[in-house]
Structure 1
Amino acid sequence: MSWINVCNEESLPQGTGIAAWVAGKAVAIFNLGKHGLYAIDNIDPATGVSLLARGLICEIEGQLCVASPLYKQHYSLTTGVCLEDPQLVASPFAIKTEQGQVFVLAKA
């Protein structure tokens, strides 16, 4: 596994997500300002469509989540687990910033 430089931190819009290609995988990256950065698989496990980066950010029972744009399942931004169906998981990725750059840990 290795850290992949995705973008400049200043280029991430706050309060929403972007999709990035990281070592052959589509990753949804969310910049939640004071709540930090999050990264999960961009593929919606319920549909197989690459679109979670376009979902709405929300908080449910203290968990930060993204709601899938298609059928509105809610995926935890920390664990990737779907709140409505725990068998559905959008795998989380480690994410960090260094010297103004955003890095995502590519999975083998």
Structure 2
Amino acid sequence: MSWINVCNEANLPLGTGIAAWVAGNPVAIFNLGRDGLYAIDNIDPATGVGLLARGLICEMEGELCVASPLYKQHYRLTTGVCIEDNTLIASPFDIKTEQGQVLVLAKA
């Protein structure tokens, strides 16, 4: 596994998500300012559609989540586990910034 440079940190919109390809994987990246950066699989496990990056950020049960635009399931940004159905998981990716660049750890 290796760290993949996705973009310049200054180009990430605040409070919303972007979609990126990381070593062949669709990834939703969320910039939540002081709350940090998060990355999960962009494919909604409930529908198989790549759209989680377009979801709304919210807090549920004390955790930051993204609400899927289609059927409104809520996926925890830390674990990717769906609040409404814990069998649905949008796999999380490790993410960090280094020298102003956003890096995501590619999965094998």
Q: What is residue 58 of structure 1 aligned with on the other side?
A: 58
| TM-score when normalising by structure 2 | 1.00
Q: What is residue 36 of structure 2 aligned with on the other side?
A: 36
Query: Mapping of 1:54-93 within 5 angstroms?
Result: 54-93=54-93
Q: What is residue 21 of structure 2 aligned with on the other side?
A: 21
The residue identity in structure 1 corresponding to 2:33 is G
Whole-angstrom CA distance in 2 between matches of 1:62 and 1:95: 22
RMSD: 0.3
Question: Unpaired segments of 5 or more residues in structure 1?
Answer: none
Q: How many residues align?
A: 108
- Report how far residue 79 of structure 1 moved: 0.2
Is 1:102 matched with 2:97?
no
Whole-angstrom CA distance in 2 between matches of 1:4 and 1:62: 31
- Report how far residue 66 of structure 1 moved: 0.1
Deviation track 1:79-105 (CA, whole Å, cap 9, x = no partner) reads 000000000000000000000000000
The ranges of structure 1 where at least 4 consecutive aligned residues each deviate by more than 2 angstroms after the TM superposition are none
- Report how far residue 61 of structure 1 moved: 1.5
- Percentage identity across aligned positions? 84
SS at match of 1:14: coil
Question: Unpaired segments of 5 or more residues in structure 2?
Answer: none
The residue identity in structure 1 corresponding to 2:3 is W
| TM-score when normalising by structure 1 | 1.00
